[in-house]
Structure 1
Amino acid sequence: MNRSRTLVASALAVSAVLLTACTPDPGSEPSADGGGDTSGATEEVTIPEQEVDQELHDALPAEIRESGSMVSVNSGSFPPYTIVGSDDQVTGATADLATALGQLLDVEIRHDTVDGLASVLSGMDAGRYDISLGPVGDFTERQQQATFVDWVQEFVVFAVPTGNPAGIEDLDSTCGNRIAVQSAGSAEEVIKEQSTVCEENGQEPIDVQSYRDQPQSVLAVQSGRADAFFSSQAPLTHFVEESGGELELAGTGQPNGFDNLYQGALVPRDSELADVLLAAFEELYANGTYEAIMTKWGLEANMLEEPGINLGS
């Protein structure tokens, strides 16, 4: 059957367009291991080909078995997990996981991109999408809208201009500054709450700037419109490395308004797909595929010891 092997114009090239106004590369063919374009990956790692698990395939919802496919929705580039090319093709760690899951479950996993997490949740609720492989932050309030199958542990920090001219070292030091966040994300909620705290303490509120996706948020910092971008450490590390020395991380090693932060895939609440997906992830953990994919994309520090359902609290 046709696998979900994505051909992509490198999304790193797309990021480069937004960050440095360079012309993107024309794209490349996927690697022989089926993992897609590896530009941006930190290591050349062979992703194992999966054998079909017939028991898991048979446990899929009937409509997915009958169609032989399911749609995974994302809310735009979130490198190195999700990297959306100019032609809407998707690469990154999540795309590699989709390829492996598709092989294991014997279905084609197609990707669709929408604007923002709210559109992901509403589209899933309306039945337009079967799954979002994410990773999306797992919080109890979101568990009222969808079921999480968590596969990432994340940390939230700041990307700032090199030299950190605004002196942002933690959440408390954001008062009176211009902070970019991705719209409808958990970081937006935390930074808005912090702005209220700033005012209650007699300090200047935060100028919260909400953007549609990660590249636009980074561009706001690089162009001087924002003093920092507040988001997950893994993608911010990627953008810092791609910035040519223009950006650095700040606020690392701080809670920054978050306790243990789990991120994962989403399925509709009470969907039988949740248990199937968890079992599939457990198999990818056991056979080394999960570790290989995370290593390929430099995400070793974000690996969970084991996947789980609704780990966020």
Structure 2
Amino acid sequence: MNTASAHRPLTRALLAGATALACLTLGACGSNPPQADGGKKDSSAKESKLPELRKDPELHKMLPEKIRDAGKMTSVNNGSFPPYEIAGSDGRSLTGASADMATALGQLLGVKIDHVTADGLPSSLTGIKAGRYDLALGPVGDFKDRQKSNDFVDWVREYVVFAVKKGNPEKIESLGDTCGLRIAVMAGGSAEGVIKEQARRCKKDGEKAVRVQSYKDQPGSVLAVRSGRADAFFSSQAPLTYFVKEAKGTLELAGTGESNGFDDLYQGAVVPKDSPLRDVLVKALKKLIDNGTYGAVMKKWGTSDNALKEPGVNLGGEA
């Protein structure tokens, strides 16, 4: 037998093991690695069909001429904000509550809404401001500093909590319990600013500062907790509830029912400042609420507790 051939299986096995170890260490092998989200998505939710809507001629006329002529517009997403945004590996397919809302909005407005996945929230916001994308349906956290360059059409109310290992070994009950701990957050997100301020507060009070770990996506942050590299992941409750469910008993939520550095937290679609799309989206979302489509989408994806009675513009306060 050829000696080199005999060692090829072993070499391949070692390489595979090294690759798996690198993924575990870096959290960087794909936007939604199975280790992060616990495996298969909720196929029953994805298969549930929503009724098709008729085009509203008046809303269609309100769209910018460029979009009407093209018959489509582009919505950018971050790829890993379940159950709202669950991006496919091709970077252009999307499932989740936001995808269903986009389908309904497209039918109502009489245009197709294409999805593009960007490399993190800062890239999405910069791309909208620069005109590379028409909007981000989101929902994206609405804060005063972000309203300087963009307008928000809010359609969700959120809460910020922690995902921790089962049993909550570090006994995190609120933001005040994080001094000296390793806390994962999404880079550029509102939770990152809050946890960094908490780190300064801890140090000022003579305690050990929070060790902030910033990741470009949610799965990388969840993986850090599951692998023991972080003590908790600090983020929105809706996606963390999804990740905890998919983790099959290895994770749980902590700090629920607390403000955790936030007051009223609104999230919504993002459009360029003073874009005519802002008013179109407000009217279209209001119609989806009135005709029951919005409620059906939120129920389908388990986010009914995050629903608003009506959409609003720039409802968010300070981060």
TM-score (norm 2): 0.87
8 A contact 2:60–2:109 mirrored in 1: yes
Partner SS state of residue 194, structure 2 = helix
CA shift digits 1:279-310 (9 cap, x unpaired): 00001001000000000000010001111111
CA distance in 2, matches of 1:41, 1:260: 29
Other-structure match for 2:5: none
Choose which of 104, 107, 116 in structure 2 pairs with 1:103: 107
8 A contact 2:180–2:210 mirrored in 1: yes
Other-structure match for 1:71: 74
8 A contact 2:165–2:225 mirrored in 1: yes
Other-structure match for 2:155: 151
Other-structure match for 1:87: 90
8 A contact 1:40–1:80 mirrored in 2: no
8 A contact 1:154–1:234 mirrored in 2: yes
Structure 1 residue 45, shift from structure 2 partner = 5.0
Other-structure match for 2:36: 19
CA distance in 2, matches of 1:17, 1:243: 10
Choose which of 47, 50, 53 in structure 2 pairs with 1:47: 50
8 A contact 2:138–2:268 mirrored in 1: yes
Structure 1 residue 87, shift from structure 2 partner = 2.5
CA gap 1:115/1:40 in 2 versus in 1, 3 angstroms: farther
8 A contact 1:157–1:231 mirrored in 2: yes
8 A contact 1:158–1:230 mirrored in 2: yes
Other-structure match for 2:246: 242
8 A contact 2:156–2:268 mirrored in 1: yes
8 A contact 1:149–1:274 mirrored in 2: yes
1:305 aligns with 2:306: no
CA distance in 2, matches of 1:82, 1:281: 18
8 A contact 1:179–1:209 mirrored in 2: yes
Give matches, 1:69-218, under 5 Å: 69-88=72-91, 89-218=93-222
CA distance in 2, matches of 1:77, 1:145: 24
CA shift digits 1:89-147 (9 cap, x unpaired): 21000000000000000101000011111111111111110010000011111110100
Q: Percent identity?
A: 61
CA gap 1:272/1:119 in 2 versus in 1, 3 angstroms: same
CA shift digits 1:258-298 (9 cap, x unpaired): 00000000000010110001100001001000000000000
8 A contact 1:82–1:91 mirrored in 2: yes
CA distance in 2, matches of 1:165, 1:40: 33
CA distance in 1, matches of 2:35, 2:86: 13
Amino acid at match of 2:34: V
CA distance in 2, matches of 1:167, 1:154: 23
Equivalent pairs, count: 287
Structure 1 unpaired stretches of 5+: 1-12, 26-37
8 A contact 2:142–2:265 mirrored in 1: yes
Other-structure match for 1:56: 59
Partner SS state of residue 115, structure 2 = strand
CA gap 1:242/1:206 in 2 versus in 1, 3 angstroms: same
CA distance in 2, matches of 1:62, 1:240: 44
Partner SS state of residue 136, structure 1 = strand
8 A contact 1:74–1:133 mirrored in 2: yes
Report the aligned-residue RMSD.
1.8
CA distance in 1, matches of 2:103, 2:287: 14
CA distance in 2, matches of 1:107, 1:293: 20
8 A contact 2:38–2:246 mirrored in 1: no
Structure 1 residue 254, shift from structure 2 partner = 0.3
Amino acid at match of 2:307: M
Moved over 4 A (4+): 13-16
CA shift digits 1:156-188 (9 cap, x unpaired): 000000011111110010000000001100000
TM-score (norm 1): 0.88
